[in-house]
Structure 1
Amino acid sequence: MSSETLNAPSSEPKPIRRLNETLINKIAAGEIIHRPASALKELIENSLDAGSTSIRITVKDGGMKLLQIQDNGCGIRKTDLPILAERFTTSKLSTFSDLARITTYGFRGEALASISHVAHLSVVTKTKLDSCAWRATYSDGALVDQKTGKASEPRPCAGNDGTTITIEDLFYNTPTRLSAFRSISEEYSRILDVITKYAIHNPTVSFACRKGGAASPDISTPSASDTPTTIRLLYGHSIAKELIHHQLSSSKKQRNDDDMDEDEEEEDPESWMAECYFTNANYQAKKMVFLLFINHRLVESARMKRALESVYTGILPKGSSPFVYLSLQIDPRSVDVNVHPTKREVHFLNEETITERIANAMQEQLAKQNHSRTFEYQTLLTGGIMDNDTTLNKKRTRKERDESGDEDKEEGPSTSHAESKKKVYSHHKVRTSLRDRTLDSMFPVTNQSQKPEASSSASAEITPPLNTLSKQRDVKESECFLTSVKNLRQQVAKGKHRQLSEILENHTFIGIVDIHRCLSLIQYSTKLYLVNHDSLAEELFYQLGLRQFGDLSRIKLDPPPSLKELIEIAVAADDSTESSRLSKPQIVDRITKILMDRREMLADYFSLTISENGLVTSLPLLLRDYVPNLDNLPSFLMRLGPQVDWTSETECFETFLRELAYFYIPTPTPTEDEKDQYKAEKWQIQHIMFPAMRRYLVPPKSLLDRDVVQVADLPDLYKVFERC
């Protein structure tokens, strides 16, 4: 039979058959669960709907082998477990009209059903009223026995309040979908991206994600935090310090135009509120980070993204993008959430008007900041060394001879010798000496004999700047047998970025561009880099603390201040404590008790000594001759309470050292004399901190992505000048 006969259309119509229900469910599952990250998104939303304050996620092989999420929410009743994984079973919707008032993440009841058709699904859950937890295993939406695969009932087991959902062997029965995934690391990065976005939008919920078998989590956020702190933890200090916070709503416009009262505004279905965190002109990245939540649901909107990105068109250089986090609250009656299988998109009324108002508000806030990026320059950037007097005299004599018309035969050999040398073009000359000019040398210096004074009264002495690096004592790695510390040190070594390490090890310090914005210039080869010295310092001091773990030097405080009084000062100045359920005295007592109960451990491991009567007698010294700003000591001690994870050894050590590093970041304090303002801080940054970076910092790639930016390349500059 020929191929033409096979492909010829049949004259008889084919019968229409009803698809098998299992096949229908598998087809539908492909619409909901695209990859491990989409499955995790559905599970996180279920946990948040259950009122969870702690969500722990474990991942193996990018979520393909194992994806487990554990929460402390309200749990699932035993009577609901038999139909838990059936399609269109939900506790959040009863009639179609409920969609107009929906405030929960989920509403269709398809996520767990879809997962059960493409993976092995098991659930362990316990409500507060249950005496024990219940375990249930599902296959194709039905409750089955894990070993036999036959119909079964939930079995009692041990467990905590809340729900643990385990997904194993995702897409095991759909080999085509399984073969489409490119790499495990890419899937894992997508999972971390989903967790990061939900953690920022839900700062009061603690999130943690780790790979199966790993000693420490890759993401860990504390509970009862706030949005700026969470952004700093997850995206870094460089973004957090450049954030602008703005809130706006439809009520302002309505009140001006229509003079409506509050009761009428609340009844208006077109009312909305927006909260936005976005970076100013000092931050730039290669790719825009846009986090959009509409009624607490993580969604995407290409139109809104383009509109907000266009706000920065005249502010950031071409090819640079900002960070924007936008939370939009709209009356549920104006939002249609049922327009996408994965709820990734929503439609709402007046989308164009709302987007325009948000973009205009962002533009106004950026204009108010009035932060223009200005950089000083120096004329001897290529690093030529000035000729000595003898050479200048020879050149002057030769020039005079040439003008008089006389010739000297003795010049022949020297001329030929010069020609025999390989010519070095100007655009390939680089700095060869630390004595070359810096930014500070271009400004007049008053009272040169006056030594910069330390900004703190601690017993740490600052040495003169000459040959500081050679006089610094070696920071030796302490001998430690704790597995947690060894793992943390291995993580630092594994995260080393070769190119950035070469830049920092061989750089030449140019100068501090802006002490307030933490910007400095360094040169490596023919390239000029603008670096965020605060971010580099935070990583440096974390690694120095880890390097000297258990053997840190001490800064003696004389007279020793009271621990409780310092914490009281910090709590009184911290506005975020007002939203806490505890009063400020209760917060002070709780943090004080946490530190007093662990003072022996703090003294042994971190050299933070607290006496029995509650006096802080000494602090850890991470780097000799570098004195932290003790004005930040109250805030440091207060943050040790909520920001350090005291429940796990590895997390405890890591979070404590991170907070210690944050305390050590150079923060200038104005002096009475404006001429000497910030002199001590600048001196410490240039002569102690940057030489220590050159020697000890093992830089991760994240610093190169956000905090080290190339601003000039000498050969490229010469090409520009040649065209002028």
Structure 2
Amino acid sequence: LDKTVVNKIAAGEIIIAPANALKEMLENSIDASSSSISVLVKDGGLKLLQITDNGTGIEKDDLPILCERFTTSKLSKFEDLTSISTYGFRGEALASVSHISHLTVTTKTKKDDCAWKCQYSDGKLVPLNPNSKTTDPKPVAGKDGTQFTVEDLFYNVPSRKRTFKSYNDEFNKILDVVGRYAIHTDNVGFSLKKFSESHYALVTRNNQQIKDRVRTVYGSIVSNELIDIKVPESDEYGLQSVTGLISNLNYNNKKNIQPIFFINNRLVSCDPLKKYIHNLYSVFLPKGSKPFIYMSLLINPNLVDVNVHPTKREVRFLYEDEIIEKICNVIQEELSKIDTSRSFQTQAILPHLNQLKKNNQSSMENVKQTSKQEIQIQNSDLNLYKQVRNDSAQSKITSYLNSNDNDNNDNNEDDEDDEDDEDDEDDEDKDDEEEDDDDKNNTNSEKNIDNKTNVEPIEIVNELDTENNNLIDLESNGKYQFSAKERVDVNLTSIITLRENVEKSINKELTETFANLIYVGIVDEVKRIAAIQYDVKLYLVDYSMISYNLFYQIGLSDFNNFGKIYLDEPISIKELLIFVNKAESKVFDEKTPEDPNFKLPNSQSFDLGSILKIFINMEEMLNEYFSIEIDITSSPDDPQLVSLPLLVKGYIPDKSKLPIFFYRLGTKVNWEDETECLDNILKELALFYVPNVLPSSYSKNEEKIKEYNAKIEFLFTVIKKRFLAKEELQKSVVEVANLPSLYKCFERC
């Protein structure tokens, strides 16, 4: 390649943007022991980039070779890199600038009587005046120091120039570079302004305190929240010193400021150190917040390689991990010391409060009305369609527990007293009266629970109506009987495994939905569909599937610790099984039940003797683990059901499902394998507890419908407290509406 082409390619690697050219010339000025550096920018530095310093200047004899490649005064041999303390060392910066712009240099040393001005192109001196033939530097008036004037940057590289779309973006990059050097270099004053503008974008003084320089560059929102960091030196790792500033835990700046790292006074980006510090802050700061970091590391030059990147933005040093660990340990210690309190910005809720005080309104009623108006004004600014609306007077779980007769009498007396009190209060609204009634009912229900100490067992009639194939009077006037029983810790491997299987399949989002649901009501009693609200969304849920999983989970969590529902009189399990066959076949042969080997019409195996034998043999296990108490003493061939498990206090399963429950226990459970056996029984128990479809005969019975609705509503209060939703249940929950979408249609809430 032609030498000119080679130089242009090399210049494109070193000078990527105006900010890179500025950085190279800033470092030259700092190396020249300048105490003041001013920068003038036009069109983001593409049209004009001028850097003026008051440093030592450049000797006139050195000007002819100033912009030649690999020309430097910073070192003479490669070994000097191991001890170099200046910014420049390759001698490529000015050469690269001269190949892609019109570069003019004006310089004066202290011993010179005047300044010298010259112009460069492609690394060589060119005439200052197109009509002149001489390339010698021209004497001009000037101050001590050097002025670099870069014009028409990338004029001969149009493809690069087209990539710069915004002058403001390039100026902001220049401002960022100058600001970083202004913070680090305390013995130099910096100034930056745009061409033709009177005010400066940035001005710092030399020997200014570092926090004052940070305030000048980034504002008080940063400088007021800084703490000093100092890491002890370490001869083992060649670490001479680490000083800097980091933000405290109150820092909250929406503008993300990239960390400022200087290693041996070189502005670099140290990604490993940045990553470790950000990870450290993530423990203390809210998600998305980034800290302010300025850090200056001095490391033994023998352990640092500065020549690893064309633009010098990266360096490599030995013992990187060890040094980073020491720095992070110090930061961790400092942050832990101040992690005791936080400061938060506050805003007055009532902006017109002072005006109210000045008016000296004498009437409290007027003050209340004014306050209400202010609140309404503020609420109008909110997104109404995002507000969650629910019932503030939602019923308690305890309101659905049945009360005994004595308590009912007490309640009636209380109600009468309450009515007398209400009559005395003529100013109350009807709505307030209704709310008071609800509160009283809830209170009375709670009293009823507390008073239930000596009560009778739950009654269940066990007579069979052989003509109508139905159990007679399966409703009961249920009452609780409490008995002292210590909770048993279950260590069965099979139960632990089943619990782990449930935990692995949990859907967190769906579980949160059920944990915070607001029950709306039943949509379809036949399909067992109910509506619930969560946040601003309305869902339809299959409560039969939900309740099945709920009771299975309760069975697992309370295994071997169930309560008991005692029957008024024992029920013959044999008669229950015969009843199943009678309901299935529709044709009853009185001789068939006496035959222990009779079969169902659908050819399913129904060995009555074998099933009864299972219940007789498993009687102790069923009683201990599941509270299914079976009496085999009165009639060894006809076991009697004494009690059923109580999974949830206040919820009694539908006893019409008893026959099919015992039929499935006898035919659907694998009694040979422990894990499968316990899992099968728990699933059958959950199926037994699932609420039945509302019978069609109850469709016009308002009392029955009300009882059914109350039962389902109580069930959802249990779901809200104890249910863990599995992944497979997503198909049982369907979103049907949400407030933001409805607002788009109706523009009202």
TM-score by length of 1: 0.49
Bigger relative contact order, structure 1 or 2, given CA contacts below 8 A and separation 6+? 1
User: Larger C-alpha radius of gyration, 1 or 2?
Assistant: 2
